[in-house]
Amino acid sequence: MQEMNGRAMDIRTVLVANRGEIAVRIIRTCRELGLRTVAVHSDADAEALHVRMADEAYRIGAAPARESYLSAAAIVAAAKEAGADAVHPGYGMLAEDAGFAQAVADAGLVFVGPSAEVIARMGDKVAARDVARSCGVPVPPGSPGTISDAAQARAVAERIGWPVVVKASFGGGGRGMRVVHDPAGLDTALTAAAREAGAAFGRPEVHLERYLERPRHVEVQVLADAHGNVVHLGDRDCSVQRRHQKLIEEAPAPDLPAGVRDRLRDDAARLAREVGYLGAGTVEFLVLPATGEYFFLEMNTRLQVEHGVTEMVTGLDLVSAQLAVAGGEKLWFTQDDVRLDGHAIQARIAAEDPWESFRPAPGRVATLMPPQGPWVRCDMGIESGDAVAAEYDSMFGKVLARGPDRDTARRRLIAALDELRVDGVPTTAPYLRGVLASAEFAAAVHDTGSLERDWAPDPALRPAAPQAPGAPTPDPRPARRVRIATDRGPVEVAIYGVASVHGTGVTFSARPGRADVSVGRAADDPGAPPTAPMDATVVAVAVTQGAAVAPGDVLVVLEAMKMEIEVRSEITGTVEKLHVTTGASVAAGTILAEVTPAGRPSGQAAS
């Protein structure tokens, strides 16, 4: 496809209203186009990579996002002071906030995205369903509007059939979603989804939809200008998910019947045209492979995290295209000009420990060595020595690979993840490498539930613990790996060679210089008092003092790095004492509650 020549009309300076890898990615394209860039940052990000890369940077507030990156007034003020012509919102933060888009426009600046009216219309999931229905795009059965109380929710669920999914009516990214299989769990799901939606998007409203069993998540990238031209740029599959958060994405979606693929793409373009869309957007669907049915899920009125795989198969820079159409340019190609070449797959790299229920693990990255190669792309928001901040999303980068076909792209991404080196924090990379190598993913027979249902992390393959700051860096080159059966389960031993320096270079021998042993942890002491697994905020206390609890009952709900963590009782007993209240900040290791085991006198809580 022919790339746009020149740069966006009337845009010379762009303020990037975001942080992390997406801010870095936008700045790179602006540099290529010869545009001046302005970064904004919180106190936590004063030395961040996106700040270092921009031509100018402005402090907009304290570390919590609500006091900085979610402050529309502070960002608009910075844009005006910097003399910016346009504001690019990236994704997340204020990217789909209609009020922010309107504030940017009211300040006489170009908002790189659709109008505030379109964002508001499509950001309201109920209104978006109505738009889809009006232009012939199939929608799943659900509530006609937002749910006002539990009685209404039960009536809707009985009408559309169990299981159902409670969904935030505003926002996206899997936040504010709960699957409910029977009436017993409905009240709890409504409360939890509303609480999470309110915290994430400032709007607690939820609605109900029929839960589709084992669907695939397929989305279509669209691009539109202000002159009525709309094209689609193919489709993507984002079915590898945990808690409705995507972890692996690919383009095009594998093994879709041609007729279904064509209808999805046509429906997406028609819906974008119906709402008068401008810029890059994504229309998301749930597809039932067995029947060929599909249903509209939502429209994301922004750039997607996974936009890179579309760029790799189309040859189009989507950020450049966003800036062009935002500046008034007409699309310089038609639908017939769009050609998809090859296949691309992306893995999201987050500071999380898959072997600890994907527990977020913020911290300083001592060493970051991205993989290299002619078919590999790395979008990183940090460099060696930078920190993954606890206040924000745990994802700090993405690794992508392209090939002439899906299997080649898959094998190249596996090799790239093997080459990726991150010291200082655990990451999702080794786990996702295993998913890519699985037979189910290779055959493309997985669905949105496969990760949580079928792909539990293998304790024997857990990487060694991160090195402490200042500790010697281990030789990363394993000569061979050996698995040994023990009474504690399988043990994997990585045997490393010894490097000898001599006059003609370096010889790497297979003599064991050291060995890393990776085993499953021994079971935690069920009698120990429940503690916070990391620095977090208490968003709910689910029990009261004196309450009887059983194993698995939720005691406290924490939030850290945009993820809710439920701390549950390990024993049958009585809540002797609560040490925290809703809204409190807790440090890792803080005792949250004391529970007296059943049969033990009061005042003798587990310790």
Domain at 552, CATH number: 2.40.50.100
- The answer on 422 and 317 residing in a single domain is yes
Q: Give the mean model confidence (pLDDT) for residues 289-318.
A: 96
Looking up residue 155, the CATH number of its domain turns out to be 3.30.1490.20
Q: What is residue 478's predicted lDDT score, i.e. its pLDDT?
A: 46
Tokens of 329: 């340019």
Q: Range with the lowest mean pLDDT among 18-22, 194-198, 339-343?
A: 194-198
pLDDT at 528: 82
pLDDT given at position 420: 97
* Confidence check: pLDDT of 461 > 90: no
Q: Are residues 234 and 196 in the same domain?
A: no
Residue 232 shares a structural domain with residue 323: yes
Structure confidence at residue 229 (pLDDT):
97
Do residues 425 and 451 share a domain? yes
Residues 204, 225: one domain? no
Last-in-domain residue among 210, 244, 269 = 210
In sequence order, what E strands does 77-197 have?
86-88, 110-111, 164-168, 177-180
Q: Is 519 within the bounds of a domain?
A: no
Average pLDDT, the chain: 87
Q: Are residue 150 and residue 248 in the same domain, yes or no?
A: no
Same domain, 284 and 405: yes
Pair (350, 302) in one structural domain: yes
Q: Is the pLDDT of residue 490 over 90?
A: no
Domain assignment present for 348? yes
Euclidean distance between CA atoms 535 and 588, whole angstroms = 5
What residues contact residue 322 under an 8 Å CB cut-off, 6+ apart? 88, 112, 113, 279, 280, 303
Q: What is the span of the domain harbouring residue 153?
A: 141-210
pLDDT grade, residue 442 (50/70/90)? Answer: very high
Number of domains in the chain: 4
Same domain, 85 and 147: no
The string of pLDDT tens digits covering residues 56-97 is 999 999 999 999 999 999 999 999 999 999 999 999 999 999
pLDDT of 174? 64
Distance CA 305, CA 379 (A): 10
Tell me: do 152 and 79 sit in the same domain. Answer: no
Looking at the structure, do residues 300 and 437 belong to the same domain, yes or no? yes
Find the mean pLDDT for residues 432-444. 96
The pLDDT tens digits for 89-137 are 999 999 999 999 999 999 999 999 999 999 999 998 889 999 999 999 9
Residue 491 has pLDDT above 80, yes or no: no
Cis? peptide before 163, omega within 30° of 0: yes
pLDDT, mean of residues 471-497: 52
Which tops the pLDDT comparison, 535 or 139? Answer: 139
Q: Region 548-565: what's the mean pLDDT?
A: 82
Q: Is the whole-model pTM more than 0.85?
A: no
242 and 389 housed in the same domain: yes
* Residue 146: partners with Cβ closer than 8 Å, 6 or more residues away: 126, 169, 205, 206, 207
CB 295 within 8 A of CB 219: no
Segments in 275-405 forming alpha helices (H) = 307-314, 318-326
Share of the chain above pLDDT 70, in %: 86
Comparing 78-87, 451-460, 493-502, the range with the smallest average pLDDT is: 493-502
Question: In the listed set 149, 177, 210, which residue is the last one of a domain according to the structure?
Answer: 210
586 close to 579: Cβ distance less than 8 angstroms: no
Q: How many whole angstroms from its chain centre is CA 76? A: 26
Whether residue 518 has pLDDT greater than 50: no
Position 587 in a domain: yes
Examine residue 604 and state whether it is found in any structural domain, yes or no: no
Residue 136 lies in a domain: no
In a domain, 509, yes or no: no
Per-residue pLDDT band at 43 (split at 50, 70, 90): very high
Instruction: Report the run of H or E that residue 235 belongs to, with start and end.
Output: strand 230-242
Residue 300, both tokens: 């994301």
Cα 214 to chain centroid, rounded: 20
CATH number at 62 reads 3.40.50.20
145's tokens: 């509007």
At 494, the pLDDT band (50, 70, 90 cuts) reads low
Going by pLDDT thresholds of 50, 70 and 90, the confidence category of residue 313 is: very high
Domain at 305, CATH number: 3.30.470.20
In a domain, 605, yes or no: no
Q: 498 in a domain, yes or no? A: no
End position of a domain, from candidates 440, 461, 482: 461
